[in-house]
Amino acid sequence: MTVVDSCGWIEYFTDGPLAERYRRYLKKNAQLVVPTVTLFEVYKKIKREIGEEKALIAVARMKQGKTTPLTETIALHAADLGLLHDLPMADSIVYATARLAEATLVTSDAHFKGLGDVTFVE
């Protein structure tokens, strides 16, 4: 199982410099776990910078994976991980979702560098 962080989805949808590196992780829909906070972040950024139509297309693509809502269990685990690793709220939720799903987090966000079960894309 794989959780791709918001930065990876944004790279992919905007054809950023790391898009090709993320593409291989996004090919296997059945293996993707998509935290709802990631839907929020990607939709917001793409809508603001490109437009609503592209943002809705991005969300439809992301929902081909297993969308995982923020539950009480994830929220409390995220708070613990946030305290332990000094992570911002959204990053804590993404990391907790990955940990509880026994998934690898794929990201290029420096907040996650050096954490367990993280594939860092540079």
pTM equals 0.95
Q: Is residue 116 a contact partner of residue 60, using CB atoms and an 8 Å limit?
A: no
Q: What is the CATH number of the domain that holds 20?
A: 3.40.50.1010
Whether 122 is covered by a domain: the verdict is: no
Whether 13 is covered by a domain: the verdict is: yes
Nearest 10 degrees: Cα torsion 109, 115, 117, 122 = 40
Whether 65 is covered by a domain: the verdict is: yes
- Region 59-68: what's the mean pLDDT? 97
Whether 121 is covered by a domain: the verdict is: no
Q: Domain range holding 30?
A: 2-112
Q: Which residues of 16-44 are buried (b: 16+ CB within 10 A; e: fewer)?
A: eeeeebbeebbeeeeebbbbebbbebbbe
Whether 117 is covered by a domain: the verdict is: no
Whether 47 is covered by a domain: the verdict is: yes
As for how many domains the chain has, the answer is 1
With CA atoms as reference, report the closest residue to 91 among 67, 115, 73, 72. 115
Q: Give φ, ψ of 113 to 5 degrees.
A: -60, 125
Residue 39 has pLDDT above 90, yes or no: yes
Whether 93 is covered by a domain: the verdict is: yes
pLDDT digits (tens, 9 = 90+) for 67-108: 999 999 999 999 999 999 999 999 999 999 999 999 999 999
